[in-house]
Amino acid sequence: MALLINPGGADDKKSIDLATSRGRRIRNWQRGEQAEDALRDAACFATEGHDGRTLRSLTARYNCIGMAFANRRTCIEPEEVPMILEDDEYSEVTRPADVMPGDLVIYEKEAGEVSHVAVVVSNDPRLTDGGSVIRVLSQWGSDGEYLHDYRDVPPLLGLPVKFYSERRR
């Protein structure tokens, strides 16, 4: 058995060339597909009893960070997210009312530790209290892509803590 010294690095055959806009390499790896039965079971588990969750795509080839930053081509470790946000000049959106489609939601399990990323698809004002209904698209591990309220994720994925945008102002 071969020992892989730099998993996700340039020498990893399951890695693709991927870099930030400043040219720093983003460690990544491409994962194989899951069995169809397993994917269908995961979709049933994820949506049953959750009317606001909608399956978009049933695949395991990439993770949420690869969906958001690498066009669904690969998996990217959560530790890479701060570097990507910095190098690609994302800025924090502090008011939920200012969040727009295409912006990102960063989730954390523990303070400062990224656990999940989702892409905003809509932000509709809630007239009853002046809040917002923010819907996102995210890949849930290796269990498929789902449209959902940004707060409605399995506990394993963490809590939404910040919004980011690459918009130029």
In a domain, 32, yes or no: yes
In a domain, 72, yes or no: yes
Whole domain around residue 152: which residue ranges?
Answer: 28-165
CATH no. for residue 151?
A: 3.90.1720
**Burial level of 13, CB count in 10 A (0-12/13-18/19+)?**
exposed
Q: Kindly report, residue by residue over 70-126, the tens digit of the pLDDT.
A: 999 999 999 999 999 999 999 999 999 999 999 999 999 977 799 999 999 999 988
Q: Kindly report, residue by residue over 8-43, the tens digit of the pLDDT.
A: 666 767 788 999 999 999 999 998 888 888 888 888
In a domain, 33, yes or no: yes
User: Is the overall model pTM greater than 0.85, yes or no?
Assistant: yes
In a domain, 105, yes or no: yes
In a domain, 23, yes or no: no
Number of domains composing the chain: 1
Q: Whole-angstrom Cα distance, residue 43 to residue 109?
A: 23
